[in-house]
């Protein structure tokens, strides 16, 4: 838990004493970019980065009409408490709490009235069956939070998990508008109300999360700093704290992946390879495909710890990553002299596995699908496109643009631009 930091406030900035903002050091994207695929033949490379969509895009928010809830505050159980109009925001920000949300788990959101209205229109609020049907906010009984030597608290498997098993699925306790321009103590006042209005159990689990600096005056934000994911609501970045999910520690070869569901407001975690009982379940906090020094630095700066996972200490990691990059370049080369081939794609796949990157196999699977199709083997191409699809869904959810690449190939592989491309 000590290491569960996805985003961070500028508490210790070089400009000591300056007004601290929630935004300064937050990652606006979780830069897990790894590969680009050519998506069509007509010259123009449409570069689609394979990114773990930390920031979840919610273009659908506006589509759903909010039918007002059953109290005088609409979908909220408490009267919204608002700031003045804030210059940087162009609106006021208010604390919106629904303490009966998801059978009494509760949720508090510090945002603009417009965004609150849109959020209240989401299936998570509107459709009482939506969260239960997806088993959200229910103990999956496959994990427990446990103390891990040298790492604080972590998540440990209680039983054998297979590939693709669900580990957790939770809605946030708190969502807060990013870049609000408020002063630290002023923001603390509102976020404190947001947390205090939560039902007792949720409030307690929030307040028991790890914090970084230990200043009681800004405890709520100190916890935010230690435990945040970032997501977009109606195109605006928000910080999100999911108490259970904060327990996952980092590993550069994680055995689980997560994505955020914008309609259910839910953070889902699934295993990307089998996990034994007693084994720790990890997520990755920085791109596992970057070189070791860069990863180390980002984890140090962003998450205040020195990465000691095997891929941070092994000497073989960087040469292997270089090799992988070279192979991806060849597979992405569609000129007549390209050395891209199914064999090369299979080799790339092996290297991903060897590096413990089972959570990122959509990349080599995708290259394999294209490479097989390019030699006219549409059967293998479809097999790998399906695997790429499955992998990307676990990593990025159905909202990722790259899913389209594989759907397109699967629609009719023989009509796909890549078909027999390397035979001509």
Supply 297's token pair.
């630095």
Q: C-beta of 40: minimal distance to ligand NAG in Å?
A: 43
CA dist 320 and 311 (Å) reads 11
Nearer to ligand NAG, 8 or 170 (CB): 170
Interface with ligand NAG: number of residues (CB under 6 A): 12
- Minimum CB distance to ligand NAG smaller for 198 or for 223: 198
CB-based closest residue to ligand NAG: 98
Q: How far is the CB of 80 from ligand NAG (least distance, A)?
A: 12
Looking at 98, 232, 253, 257, which residue binds ligand NAG (CB under 6 A)? 98
Exposure string of 65-100, with b = 16+ CB inside 10 Å and e = fewer, is: ebeebeeebbbbbbebbbbeebeebebebbbbbbbe
Cα-flanking dihedrals φ and ψ of residue 155, to 5°?
-100, 130
Tell whether residue 108 is a contact of ligand NAG (CB under 6 A).
no
* Secondary structure E strands in 242-333: 249-250, 256-261, 266-271, 280-283
Question: Which string of x and - marks every residue 117-136 that binds ligand NAG (by CB under 6 A)?
Answer: --------x--x--------
102 touching ligand NAG, by CB under 6 A: yes
Interaction between residue 297 and ligand NAG (CB under 6 A): no
Residue 195: in which H helix or E strand, if any?
helix 184-196
Give the rounded distance of the alpha carbon of 234 from its chain centre. Answer: 17
> Contact between 367 and ligand NAG (CB under 6 A)?
no
**Contacts with 289 (C-beta within 8 Å, 6 or more apart), sequence order:** 32, 34, 321, 324, 357, 360
Q: Which is nearer to ligand NAG, 77 or 338 (CB)?
A: 77
Binding track, positions 222-261, relative to ligand NAG; x by CB under 6 A: ----------------------------------------
Residue in this structure with the two tokens 């054998």, named with its chain if needed: 160
State CA 363 to chain mean position distance: 17
Mask for 54-73, x = binds ligand NAG (CB under 6 A): ---------------xxx--
Least Cβ distance, residue 53 to ligand NAG (angstroms): 25
Binding flag, residue 77, ligand NAG (CB under 6 A): yes
Nearer CB in complex with ligand NAG: 109/357? 109
Question: Sign of dihedral through CA atoms 172, 173, 177, 182?
Answer: negative
Phi/psi of residue 52, nearest 5 degrees: -75, 110
Can residue 33 be called a binding residue for ligand NAG (CB under 6 A)? Answer: no
Report the nearest approach of ligand NAG to the CB of residue 98 (Å).
Answer: 4
Phi, psi angles (nearest 5°) of residue 389: -60, -50
Give the contacts of 214 (CB within 8 A, at least 6 positions apart).
222
* Chosen residue from 3, 6, 56, 101 binding ligand NAG by CB under 6 A: 101
Binding of residue 75 to ligand NAG (CB under 6 A): yes
State the nearest-atom distance from the C-beta of 93 to ligand NAG, in Å. 20
Q: What is the C-alpha separation between 97 and 174, in angstroms, rounded?
A: 9
**Which residue lies nearer to ligand NAG by CB, 77 or 320?**
77
| 247-266 as b/e: b if 16+ CB within 10 A | bbbbbbbbbbbbbbbbbbbb
> By the criterion CB under 6 A, which residues form the site for ligand NAG?
69-71, 75-77, 98, 100-102, 125, 128
């Amino acid at each position: 838990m000590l290491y569960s930091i996805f985003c961070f406030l500028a508490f210790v900035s070089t400009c000591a004493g300056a007004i601290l903002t929630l935004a300064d050091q937050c990652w606006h994207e979780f830069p897990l970019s790894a590969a680009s695929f050519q998506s069509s033949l007509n010259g123009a490379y449409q570069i689609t980065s394979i990114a773990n969509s930390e920031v979840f895009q919610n273009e659908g928010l506006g589509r759903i009409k909010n039918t007002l809830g059953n109290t005088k505050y609409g979908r909220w159980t408490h009267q919204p408490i608002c700031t003045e109009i804030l210059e940087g925001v162009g609106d006021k920000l208010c604390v919106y709490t629904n303490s009966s949300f998801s059978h009494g788990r509760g949720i508090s959101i510090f945002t603009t009235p417009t965004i609150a209205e849109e959020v209240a229109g989401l299936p998570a609020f509107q459709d009482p069956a939506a969260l239960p049907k997806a088993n959200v906010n229910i103990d999956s009984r496959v994990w427990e939070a446990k103390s891990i030597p040298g790492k604080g608290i972590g998540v440990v498997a209680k039983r054998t998990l297979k590939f693709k098993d669900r580990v957790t699925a939770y809605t946030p306790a708190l969502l807060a508008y990013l870049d609000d321009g408020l002063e630290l103590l002023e923001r603390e006042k509102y976020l404190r109300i947001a947390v205090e209005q939560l039902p007792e159990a949720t409030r307690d689990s929030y307040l028991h999360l790890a914090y970084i600096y230990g200043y009681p005056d800004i405890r709520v934000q100190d916890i935010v700093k230690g435990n945040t994911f970032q997501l977009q609501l109606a195109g605006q970045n928000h910080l999100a704290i999911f108490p259970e999910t904060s327990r996952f520690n980092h590993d550069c070869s994680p055995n689980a992946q997560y994505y955020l569901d914008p309609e259910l407001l839910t953070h889902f975690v699934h295993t990307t390879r089998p996990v034994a009982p007693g084994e720790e379940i990890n997520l990755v906090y920085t791109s596992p495909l970057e070189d070791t020094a860069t990863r180390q630095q980002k984890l140090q700066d962003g998450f205040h710890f020195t990465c000691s996972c095997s891929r941070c200490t092994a000497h073989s990691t960087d040469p292997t990553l270089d090799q992988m990059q070279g192979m991806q370049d060849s597979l992405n080369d569609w000129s007549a002299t390209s050395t891209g081939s199914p064999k090369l794609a299979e080799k790339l796949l092996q290297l991903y596995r060897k590096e413990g990157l089972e959570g990122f196999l959509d990349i080599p699977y995708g290259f394999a699908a294209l490479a097989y199709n390019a030699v006219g083997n549409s059967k293998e191409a479809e097999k790998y496109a399906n695997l790429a699809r499955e992998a990307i869904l676990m990593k990025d959810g159905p909202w990722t643009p790259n899913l389209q690449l594989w759907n397109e190939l699967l629609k009719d592989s023989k009509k796909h631009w890549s078909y027999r491309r390397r035979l001509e």
